[in-house]
Structure 1
Amino acid sequence: MPEPVETSSPDGVDYGWVMQTTFVATIIVGAPLVAVLSTTATLPTWADRAEFAIRVAAPVWLVTSLVVFAYAKRKRT
């Protein structure tokens, strides 16, 4: 009998949980942060707005993913 799709047997950290949690936490933290920081920037075109959002959101995503991974690794051990 094949193993159900919704189960996994990760070695160490559950990367699915890390990715999902990073996604949700980045939206919760990143969206308000980008909105607040955008009030101090001059963003006349949609291209400027998109570039600004990417420049601000990328570091937020990176930091969030590292924090979530460290949390998952510490809780696993």
Structure 2
Amino acid sequence: MPDPVETSDPEGVDYGWVMQVTFVLTIVVGAPVVAVLSTGTPLDSWNARVSFAVRVGAVVWILVALCVYGYARRTQTQ
């Protein structure tokens, strides 16, 4: 029986896994962070709200991505 198409055997870090986990964790971590930080910020218009969410979300995304990649790389070498 042939292997399913979804099966992969990556050498080194599995970047597909890193991207999927980064996506999920960014939403799970980022939404509460944006909500908490927005309570102390005057957001008078939709443009201000969107730009605030994008700025904070970008920082959360890069931090989560670096942490997930570091975790994947550390556990892959052990």
Which consecutive residues of structure 1, in runs of 5 or more, have no partner in the other structure? none
Deviations 1:19-52 (A, max 9, x none): 1111111111110000000011111111110000
Which consecutive residues of structure 2, in runs of 5 or more, have no partner in the other structure? none
Q: What do you get for the CA RMSD once the two structures are aligned?
A: 1.4
Structure 1 match to 2:65: 65
Structure 2 match to 1:10: 10
User: Using the alignment, how far apart are the partners of 2:35 and 2:74 within structure 1?
Assistant: 32
Structure 2 match to 1:38: 38
> 2:36 corresponds to which letter in structure 1?
V
The two structures have a TM-score, normalised by structure 2, of 0.90
Q: CA deviation at 1:3?
A: 6.0
> 1:17 corresponds to which letter in structure 2?
W
Q: CA deviation at 1:4?
A: 3.6
Segment of structure 1 superposing worse, 2-11 or 38-47? 2-11
Stretches (4+) displaced over 3 A:
none
Specify the SS of the correspondent of 2:53.
helix
Segment of structure 1 superposing worse, 51-60 or 6-15? 6-15
The two structures have a TM-score, normalised by structure 1, of 0.91
Specify the SS of the correspondent of 1:73.
helix
Q: CA deviation at 1:7?
A: 1.4
User: What is the number of residues matched between the two proteins?
Assistant: 77
> 2:21 corresponds to which letter in structure 1?
T
